[in-house]
Amino acid sequence: MEEYIAFDSHKRYTWVDRQDHATGKATCHRLEHAPGAVREYLHGCEPGTAVAVEATGNWYWIIDEIEQAGLVPRLVHPRKAKLMMGQINKTDKLDAQGLNRLQRNGTLPTVWIPPGPLRDLRELTRTRLVLVAQRTRLKNRLSATLAKWGLPASEYSDPYGKRGRAALAFLASGAYLYGLLASAAIGIYPYVLPARDPALGITLHDAAAAKSGLAMGLSWWIPGMVLACGYLAYMYATLPAKFRVRHKADH
């Protein structure tokens, strides 16, 4: 290994400290973040050179580009490294130099770096955990809002369980069917009940769509109604969550 390299990374830039292994000469400069910037900067370094990087929030892509350049990343525990450096003043330059000093002494507190595919899988898992938590928070908020007005969220113990979701799907299908019927009624209404007095000027009949537009709308509306009715019938016949009719004997 010809040199020691340390990165003090931030959101938009990284402060780089490079120290020659033989002479101990150090060079420091700022590296602006951009896709491929770290890989291009490390191009030409001896393969297998260790690069110390603090475990900050954006270390994933930096580690990826270090590995792509053929170097070995060493992820540093930030809190332990700060205690071991023991510096009163804290600047980007001093932090990078402190990481290299620990690396040169062989006391750099490193942590395990998962392989690239495992890092991606862990990030997907974390994202799913966050999304599930947000979904649960929204469900609880809806149930709490309905409970404030004395309205049960569902007749089932779990409104968002299997049977509860089936009931919601049936209601959504019915609402969609009613929407299609309402849109058809609004479109056909001026032709069914035209204005009786032509002197009224602007009427519903005058504001209606042209006959060609109405014909085009009907050509799409009729197949949509057939599909919607078929879907509603399928939902009612197959889903277990149907509306129970309460008879007098139940009371």
Domain ranges across the chain: 3-113, 115-151, 162-250
Q: What is the pLDDT along the chain (251 residues), one digit of tens a residue?
A: 678 999 999 999 999 999 988 787 888 989 999 999 999 999 888 999 999 999 888 899 999 999 999 999 999 999 999 899 888 888 888 999 999 999 988 999 999 999 988 999 999 999 999 999 999 999 889 888 888 888 776 777 778 888 877 777 777 777 877 877 777 676 665 554 455 665 554 544 555 556 666 676 677 778 877 887 787 777 777 765 554 544 444 44
Query: Which residues neighbour 219 within 8 Å (Cβ) at sequence distance 6 or greater?
Result: none
Whole-prediction pTM: 0.60
Order of strands across the sheet with 50-54? 26-32, 13-20, 3-9, 50-54, 72-76
Which amino acid, 150?
A: G
CATH architecture entry for 3-113: 2-Layer Sandwich (3.30)
* Alpha carbons within 13 A on the beta-carbon side of 212: 0
What does the alpha-carbon distance between residue 172 and residue 177 come to, in Å, rounded to a whole number?
9
**DSSP-derived pairing of the beta strands 13-20 and 26-32:** antiparallel
